[in-house]
Structure 1
């Protein structure tokens, strides 16, 4: 989200713990609304209170020139793409989910980050992100969680 739209402000949210009280130090469900500093607005809805398996992860971007929804059980599909003067290319299949035994998680993509670290340290390629971007993501998470203490 930060990579696409930048920082957020005017953050509002609600948080609840429906099925994990006492089991985790954070809630299992939340609704967050915010404005982007660069213009526009956004929202997040999340829960880990789904029985047995991931239900869905998705991001929908609606703009004056088009709409895109990335979603699926592991946010591994472009489910909708309607953009002015753009034809969606055929995409290769996504990676399978991480398999943690009794639980399957997000698509297995962490190895790309580790490969980039090795490439950068050995001089074979450029870095794909930087510390400032990582710090900004942490700051956005902190802005959201500051709502819990207000």
Structure 2
């Protein structure tokens, strides 16, 4: 039995608890939140005791295997280091942190204490993304010309006003850090190393510290180009999340309100009927096993097999670096070299 502690009893913690409940031989043993009332709100989801500090939790449950950190992003570093020093493996919500310095310290603490660190980028496990991964592994795209990463969503002022930390630079970040980072993780994962970035960001409609709109142009190391568009200003609700990749011998577009559907899938090496079968298969089951469940299951397996999690701390750091590079390029109103971001 793998035992878990969930830290931070907010909205996203419910996904973690439900995912753990759906996995055989996994159990939520403890909850942690500074607000005792929040802990009580989660009591119906699992048979777990609640604590208001990690140190108290670890004293009461010394055999906890994995700590799931679901707090505001600005708190990730200290909690990760505390858990690592207690010898616990860690699953941390996205983004891994809000600065590369914090991310580096988290990764180093886990290495020093010989524990595993996974970052929650669950979109990698979507059925449509898995099909895209297969196409890449078979070289079906040929030479890539360009790619587009688009997140056109709505987060109204009421959303940001629900908690004082939302939209702040110290605890949360803006649309790029909070909403678009999953799509950006996929863009970076498929398109490979980056050479240069140009960008603009602005806060147009929401009363927050961080950006609610961001656009960027990316030059990848292989010479391909990328376009990023992210916004939480779309009226009146979420409109689209998409990832489009175009190559010499193939092209694919994942889209919908979330990028769970294949809207275009054509390759020189695939006949029309085969492509249609792939699209139809995804239409029948666009969600598959929930991504959080896959991340947690992978952590259990990585412990047993003594390997790195599929989405490691280092990979979470790269997605964070892309967000920070876009923001820096916008702030400096100048192109930013990827290697200069550290």
Q: TM-score range by the shorter chain?
A: 0.7 to 0.9
The 1:109–1:53 alpha-carbon spacing in structure 2 relative to 1, beyond 3 Å, is farther
- The Cα of 1:13 is off from its aligned counterpart by 1.1
CA contact (8 A) 1:35 1:42 kept: yes
Which residue pairs with 1:139 in the alignment? 321
| Runs (5+) with no aligned partner, structure 1 | 97-106
CA contact (8 A) 2:197 2:218 kept: yes
Whole-Å Cα distance in 2 between the matches of residues 27 and 129 of structure 1? 26
Q: Secondary structure at the match of 2:318?
A: helix
Which structure has the larger Rg over C-alpha atoms?
2
Greater RCO (Cα-Cα under 8 Å, separation 6 or more): 2
* CA RMSD after TM alignment: 2.3
| Runs (5+) with no aligned partner, structure 2 | 1-186, 333-342
Q: Are 1:80 and 2:272 counterparts?
A: no
CA contact (8 A) 2:198 2:330 kept: no
Q: Are 1:113 and 2:295 counterparts?
A: yes
CA contact (8 A) 2:252 2:266 kept: yes
Q: 2:200 aligns with which of 14, 37, 45?
A: 14
Which residue pairs with 2:239 in the alignment? 55
Whole-Å Cα distance in 1 between the matches of residues 230 and 290 of structure 2? 20
Whole-Å Cα distance in 2 between the matches of residues 126 and 135 of structure 1? 15
1:95-110 equivalence runs, <5 A: 95=287, 108-110=290-292
**Greater helix fraction, Structure 1 or Structure 2:** 2
Q: Secondary structure at the match of 2:241?
A: coil
Length-normalised TM-score, structure 1: 0.80
